[in-house]
Structure 1
Amino acid sequence: MALAILAQAATVRAGDDASLTVSVAGLRNQKGQVHICLTANARAFPDCSKDAAAIKRTVRAADAGSISFTAIAPGTYALSLIHDENGNGRLDTTLAIPREGFGFSRNPRIAFGPPKFAAAAFALTGHVSQTVKMKYML
C-alpha cells in the first residue's frame, strides 16, 4: 500500500506541467533571429540536433526580450541560445570562434568550447525564470 501511494505521488499529472520564462539580456543589436533550444538530454546539448524531444523556438531578435514556454514536463533542463544576426539558421564562426552571439542557462563561464550540460542545467518545476546573458567573442 505504501509503495502504491509513493508511486502515485511520483507520477506527474497533466496539471503539474512546468513553465519557463527566458529573459534575454545583452543582445548586440536587433538584427536577425534568436534560436532557443531547451533540452533534458545531456548528450544533445548544446545544439539539440540529436534530441527529437527538445523544445526549439526561433524569435525575431527585436522580440527576444522575454520568451515563455508552457506545458513542459518537470525535470532537469538546459538552455542554449544563438543570436543569428544574418538569419542563415546557424552560428557562424571564424577559426572555430563564434562570430555571432550565444548564451546558456545559468550563464556558465565560457573557456574553450561550449559548457557541459551540468554547468547549464537547472531544475524545472512549477514556474521558473532564467535570464540568459548573450556573449560575443568577435
Structure 2
Amino acid sequence: MTRLLIGALTAACLVPAGAAAAPAAADLEITIRNVLPGQGELRIALFDTANGFPDEPASTQPTLRQRADGETVRVRFPGLPQGRWAVMVLQDLNGNGRIDSNLLGMPREPYGASNNRLPALSPPRFEEALVTLGPQGAQIQIDLKQP
C-alpha cells in the first residue's frame, strides 16, 4: 500500500505545472441584423489573427454558412478557445463565395464586422473588430451595411 501511495505521489509530481489547466472552451453567439431575407446566404468567418482579415480566413479559422431566412439571423460558434476574436459577415447574394465590389472597390453586397466599426472608404480593421471571449462566452450583434 505504501508503494502505491509513493508511486501515485511521484507520478503527480511529474505532471508539468499548468498541464491540467488547459484553457476552457466557450461559445460565441452572434445576432446578425439588417439581413435581406431570402436572398443568398450568410458567410460568417472568425479570425484570431489579422492574417486574411477581412476577406480570406485561413482554412484553420472557424467559418459558418447560414441561410438568410429572416431580417435577423442568430448563429452560434460552440467550444471556441477563449481569447480575442474578430468576426466578419458577408451576405453572399449570388453564391460565388466572395464579396463583390464595384470599380472603385466598394462592396456591392451586404457585409458587417464585430463592433460594427465600418469605415466609409476602407475595409474594417482587425484591431477595431476584436471582441473578447471569456469563460462565460460572449454574445455580440452585427448590423449588416447595405451597399
TM-score by length of 1: 0.84
Deviation at 1:8, TM superposition (A): 2.4
Deviation at 1:10, TM superposition (A): 10
The 8 Å contact of residues 39 and 78 in structure 1, kept in 2 or not, is answered as: yes
Matched, 1:128 2:138: yes
Matched, 1:102 2:111: yes
Matched residues in 1 for 2:74 and 2:115: separation?
16
More strand by share: 1
1:16-35 equivalent positions in 2, closer than 5 A? 16-35=24-43
Deviation at 1:105, TM superposition (A): 0.4
Q: 1:54 aligned to 48, 57, 61, which one?
A: 61
Q: 1:94 to 1:60 in 2, by over 3 A?
A: same
Comparing 27-36 and 60-69, the one that deviates more? 60-69
Tell me the residue number matched to 1:3.
none
Deviation at 1:56, TM superposition (A): 0.7
SS of equivalent residue, structure 1 residue 106: helix
Matched residues in 2 for 1:81 and 1:109: separation?
12
**Which amino acid is 2:78 matched to?**
T
Comparing 109-118 and 71-80, the one that deviates more? 109-118
Unpaired runs of 5+ residues, structure 2, are: 1-16
**Which amino acid is 1:123 matched to?**
T
Structure with max Cα Rg:
2
Matched residues in 2 for 1:11 and 1:47: separation?
34
Query: Identical aligned pairs, as a percentage?
Result: 30
Matched, 1:12 2:22: yes
Matched residues in 2 for 1:9 and 1:110: separation?
43
Matched residues in 2 for 1:106 and 1:9: separation?
34
TM-score by length of 2: 0.79
How many residues matched?
Answer: 128
Matched residues in 2 for 1:11 and 1:45: separation?
30
Q: 1:109 to 1:88 in 2, by over 3 A?
A: closer
**Which amino acid is 2:60 matched to?**
A
Matched residues in 2 for 1:39 and 1:10: separation?
26
